[in-house]
Amino acid sequence: MTPSSSAPSRRGVLAGAAALAATGAALSAAAAPAGAASRARPARPVVFRNVRPFGAKHPVDLTVLDGRITDERAPKGADVVDGGGRIALPALVDAHIHPDKTTWGGAWVSRKPASGIADFAAQDVELFHGQRRPVAKRAYGLMAHAVTRGTRAMRAHADIAPAYGLACVEGVAQARERLRQALDVQIVAFPQHGVVRAPGTAALLKEAARSGAVDFIGGIDPIGFDHAMDEQLDLVFGLADRYGVGVDIHLHDRDEKGLTALRAIINRTRALSLRGKVTVSHVFCLPGLSDAELAGVAADLADLDIALTTVAPNASLVLPIARLKEHGVRVGLGSDGVRDAWSPFGNADMLHRAHLLGWVEDVRLDAELTACYEAGAHGGADVMRLPRADLTPGSPADFLLVRGECLPQIVVDMPARDMVVHGGRVVARDGELT
């Protein structure tokens, strides 16, 4: 979760152009990501007739074989789905969300004043005990809703603390299983109450990593919140090294405190040869850096292939995605908490999040609006090590169909998601799972 712009209160959330390449851009189809649910491929080929990839003027047919876009001719007997001239866009990836905390689909919760992470975490616990529906049901409701809004994959942080044991991790895992044909999910064991300051958490993190219940071990402000930088990071990185899981750490600390923690993360990633397996979320210490300072940090991040995520909380804390990409750093966009104890806001709609990214960055140009969509679609895919669903031959047939004129206009207007396709199967229509 993200505390707000003015620490320690929480974020003040408001809240490819690539034409379809005729020839198959080689897919960097990295191996299946850790923890991504295996998807059932449709047995039959499918042709999506009369669709306009990225808002192309002239409609085309998209043919799907074995869950992937192909430029081969559709075989006889293929299923046919009429796209009605709608725009086809890559499905979206939520690189940072907390489905275990949500009240989505339940009664309205009136929030109480809170100041600082410890207060919010205590209210999480109250909410956990006060909800009639268990985590599995609440998380499923939110994750299913995300699918209907065009999300193909998400990295789900689930609280792990003595107050819950492994209940949140297990609940999110149950929701993942129910949605495995529609959504790829990675689970992070997130020590929201601190690793060192909440005794018993270390043992739970170890159990989660050892048992294979999670794909990533999380961490949280090792200096500003846990007050035990080396102890927390040694433990988190030690578990990742020993059990072969990734690391995804919440880092809200700013200025020198944040940079000190970030350097410690970089050093451990290098020392343990965990290149490509580490993500840092929020990273509020980066947006205020000068170009030269950012270049120095980004060089290390790129060298060790450390990914970052942002939830675009506001103009001063959103990560400088374009500049980081220039340095070769993977950056994903995410929802963060949705209608939970921390905030009444959020909706797990990544098109809306792409819109918010454009809003907080005050963008105007078509290329900038398109980049916001790409952050919501490809940024998270890069972070989760999923092949990009860019509608080129060989790419996963994960796309959404909407009515509209062109991609920049869609980012602004956020039209209804008329159809959502995952692995070539229609998984949602008109806002409902099929």
Asked if 376 contacts 353 with a C-beta cutoff of 8 angstroms, the reply is yes
Residue 271 CB, nearest distance to Zn ion (Å)?
A: 26
Pair of tokens at residue 94: 């939520």
Residues between 210 and 269 with contacts to Zn ion, criterion CB under 5 A: none
* Residue placing its CB nearer to Zn ion in the complex, 16 or 313: 313
* Residue placing its CB nearer to Zn ion in the complex, 70 or 335: 335
Residue 333 CB, nearest distance to Zn ion (Å)?
A: 13
Residue 312 CB, nearest distance to Zn ion (Å)?
A: 13
Most distant pair of Cα atoms in the chain: their distance: 64
Is residue 428 classed as helix, strand or coil in its secondary structure?
A: strand
b/e per residue 134-145 (b: at least 16 CB within 10 A):
ebbbbbbbbbbb
* Residue 272, φ and ψ in degrees, nearest 5: -100, 10
Residue 337 CB, nearest distance to Zn ion (Å)?
A: 7
- Closest residue to bound Zn ion by CB: 1
Residue 336 CB, nearest distance to Zn ion (Å)?
A: 5
* Residue placing its CB nearer to Zn ion in the complex, 155 or 268: 155
Q: Which residues pair with 402 in a beta bridge?
A: 87
* 227 Cβ contact partners less than 8 Å away, ≥ 6 residues apart: 196, 197
Q: Which stretch binds Zn ion (CB under 5 A): 4-12, 110-118, 329-337, 338-346?
A: 329-337
* Residue placing its CB nearer to Zn ion in the complex, 300 or 340: 340
CA distance 63 to 46: 6
Residues between 294 and 323 with contacts to Zn ion, criterion CB under 5 A: none
CB atoms within 10 A of CB 336: 30
Q: Which stretch binds Zn ion (CB under 5 A): 85-93, 265-273, 286-294, 330-338?
A: 330-338
* Residue placing its CB nearer to Zn ion in the complex, 52 or 96: 96
* Residue placing its CB nearer to Zn ion in the complex, 1 or 391: 1
Residue 293 CB, nearest distance to Zn ion (Å)?
A: 25
CA distance 69 to 74: 11
HEC-encoded secondary structure of 147-189: HHCCEEEEEEEEECECCCECHHHHHHHHHHHHCCCCCEEEEEE
Asked if 419 contacts 428 with a C-beta cutoff of 8 angstroms, the reply is yes
* Residue placing its CB nearer to Zn ion in the complex, 1 or 420: 1
CA distances from 262 to 170, 229, 257 (A): 30, 11, 9
- For residue 1, state whether it binds Zn ion (rule: CB under 5 A): yes
Residue 136 CB, nearest distance to Zn ion (Å)?
A: 20
How many residues sit close enough to Zn ion to count as binding (CB under 5 A)?
2
- For residue 153, state whether it binds Zn ion (rule: CB under 5 A): no
Q: Which stretch binds Zn ion (CB under 5 A): 73-81, 241-249, 294-302, 334-342?
A: 334-342
Q: How far is CA 217 from the centre of its chain?
A: 15
Residue 120 CB, nearest distance to Zn ion (Å)?
A: 11
* Residue placing its CB nearer to Zn ion in the complex, 215 or 336: 336
Is residue 384 classed as helix, strand or coil in its secondary structure?
A: helix
Q: Which stretch binds Zn ion (CB under 5 A): 172-180, 202-210, 321-329, 335-343?
A: 335-343
Element (DSSP H or E) covering residue 206: helix 201-211
What CA dihedral angle connects 307, 313, 318 and 321, to 10 degrees?
50
Is residue 196 classed as helix, strand or coil in its secondary structure?
A: coil
* 425 Cβ contact partners less than 8 Å away, ≥ 6 residues apart: 40, 42, 46, 181, 182
* Residue placing its CB nearer to Zn ion in the complex, 65 or 262: 262
* Residue placing its CB nearer to Zn ion in the complex, 258 or 423: 258
Q: Which stretch binds Zn ion (CB under 5 A): 195-203, 251-259, 295-303, 336-344?
A: 336-344
Residue 157 CB, nearest distance to Zn ion (Å)?
A: 5
Residue 25 CB, nearest distance to Zn ion (Å)?
A: 33
Q: Which stretch binds Zn ion (CB under 5 A): 127-135, 234-242, 331-339, 390-398?
A: 331-339
Q: Which stretch binds Zn ion (CB under 5 A): 287-295, 332-340, 362-370, 396-404?
A: 332-340
Calculate helix-pair angle for 135-148, 167-178, nearest 10 degrees. 40
CA distance 6 to 154: 28
The CA angle 312-317-323, to the nearest 5 degrees, is 80
Residue 311 CB, nearest distance to Zn ion (Å)?
A: 7
- For residue 36, state whether it binds Zn ion (rule: CB under 5 A): no
* Residue placing its CB nearer to Zn ion in the complex, 1 or 187: 1
CA distance 258 to 164: 28
Q: Which stretch binds Zn ion (CB under 5 A): 217-225, 318-326, 333-341, 423-431?
A: 333-341
* Chain contacts with Zn ion (rule: CB under 5 A): 1, 336
